[in-house]
Amino acid sequence: AQSVTQLGSHVSVSEGALVLLRCNYSSSVPPYLFWYVQYPNQGLQLLLKYTSAATLVKGINGFEAEFKKSETSFHLTKPSAHMSDAAEYFCAAFYNQGGKLIFGQGTELSVKP
Amino acid sequence: ETGVTQSPTHLIKTRGQQVTLRCSSQSGHNTVSWYQQALGQGPQFIFQYYREEENGRGNFPPRFSGLQFPNYSSELNVNALELDDSALYLCASSLSGTGAHEQYFGPGTRLTVT
């Protein structure tokens, strides 16, 4: 079955530290991959997307993600965390069957001053 | 460019009642998808509408139904509400037929069933 796994339901970093949020997908055929951010009581905002054009994808707010087919991973990184980055982050995969996005369980990012 | 809007923002219903949630897609988008997000979980796909027809469905019972209108707006209807239906319902719009698969989400409707 198609699935997306996010390792770590909660990640805490200090302001200015590296942010690394992990995502793995299960498929022999690489899907389209996305990272979304959700602030409290809000909908999902698209951070970035992988569509096979380039393995390193840059998104908004200084985030980027690297697609590694050999590891079936699409980890999200940011060199220096800011307090405003505190939110819930979701990795999602789009498979062509049925048009649906499959989401991971989410990772809550906390940023300490 | 108008983003995805949803109404109402919050809703409280009693078990057994019926509810209708509404969504207006982003301008230029022709496809609407609905997701259910339970507390502390990732969104779960309910169904998708394209050209006013259901284009895919997740693992939800038939009491979850929908409509898409000619202007691409959409409704999600849930009959015989159960306590477990309490969740944030997200609508997402996209443009099918272009190879771009990103979906843009509205702010959601928070449904509480008591």
Residues of B in contact with A51 (CB under 8 A): 99-101
Q: Which pLDDT score, from 0 to 100, does residue A27 have?
A: 76
Considering only residues 13 to 52 of chain B, which have any Cβ-Cβ distance to chain A shorter than 8 Å? 31, 33, 35, 40-45, 48, 50
Which helix (H) or strand (E) segment holds residue A47: the answer is strand A44-50
Tens of pLDDT along B82-102?
999 999 999 999 987 666 678
For residue A52, pLDDT over 80 is answered with: no
Please tell me the distance in Å from A15's CA to the nearest CA on chain B. Answer: 24
Q: How many residues does chain A have?
A: 113
Burial of residue A10 (number of CB atoms within 10 Å: 0-12, 13-18, 19+): exposed
- Candidates A43, A49, A99; nearest CB to B33: A99
pLDDT at site A53: 74
- Using one digit for the tens of pLDDT, what is the confidence trace for A90-111? 999 987 766 688 999 999 999 9
Task: Please give the pLDDT value at position B11.
Answer: 96
A43 touches chain B (CB under 8 A): yes
Percent share of chain B, pLDDT over 90: 78
- Distance (Å) from the C-alpha of residue B38 to the closest C-alpha of chain A? 11
C-alpha–C-alpha distance, residues A63 and A94, integer Å: 20
